[in-house]
């Protein structure tokens, strides 16, 4: 399975928009949204990998957008920081059998090597998680990802 990991310097930069456009460009995609919580919160203990249609298809969510874009399978990884590696590893196993997969989230890039790592750079305070992965990026996109950015990513991915 070939993989892309989409990261960004700030929240709301367009990671999901870019993923949607890539998924719509061809068949065979799966997608995984990775959400990391600080340890010891009530959000999640350890990690969970959600794939139920009721949760993934909840209107207005990133996972719903990925599903509607045409991803054959969408996962939502919710994890504490100390469990990211195991969570992403299990998500990769669950997506085995798909031709291509998009992972969305800076923390995912810290624990696996995709075929292509993309970062959307936007104005605003640089997230620590973005700083941590900056040297792993293959393609930088400045500003909200338009059609030229999508083509650039797809061309690089196809040649990876």
Between the CA atoms of 143, 110, 62 and 115, what dihedral angle is there, to the nearest 10 degrees? 80
- Cα separation values, 94 from 1, 50, 77, 106, Å: 12, 11, 11, 20
- pLDDT(128) > 90: no
CATH fold for domain 2-159? Rossmann fold (3.40.50)
The mean-pLDDT minimum among 61-65, 99-103, 128-132 falls in: 128-132
Average confidence (pLDDT) over 117-139: 91
Cβ atoms of residues 153 and 139 within 8 Å = yes
What pLDDT does residue 42 have? Answer: 61
- Cα separation values, 140 from 10, 22, 26, Å: 13, 15, 22
What are 40-88's pLDDT values in tens digits?
666 667 899 999 999 999 999 999 999 999 999 999 999 988 899 999 9
């Amino acid at each position: 399975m070939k993989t892309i990991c989409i990261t960004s310097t700030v929240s709301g930069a367009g990671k999901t928009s870019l993923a949607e456009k890539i998924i719509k460009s061809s068949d065979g995609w799966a997608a995984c949204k990775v959400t990391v919580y600080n340890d010891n919160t009530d959000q999640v203990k350890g990690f969970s990998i959600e794939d139920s249609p009721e949760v993934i298809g909840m209107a207005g969510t990133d996972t719903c957008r990925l599903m509607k874009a045409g991803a054959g399978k969408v996962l939502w990884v919710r994890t504490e920081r100390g469990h990211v590696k195991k969570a992403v590893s299990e998500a990769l196993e669950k997506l085995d059998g798909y031709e291509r997969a998009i992972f969305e989230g800076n923390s995912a890039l810290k624990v696996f090597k995709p075929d292509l790592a993309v970062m959307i750079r936007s104005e605003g305070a640089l997230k620590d998680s973005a700083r941590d992965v900056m040297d792993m990026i293959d393609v930088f996109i400045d500003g909200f990802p338009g059609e030229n950015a999508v083509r650039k990513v797809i061309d690089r991915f196809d040649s990876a």
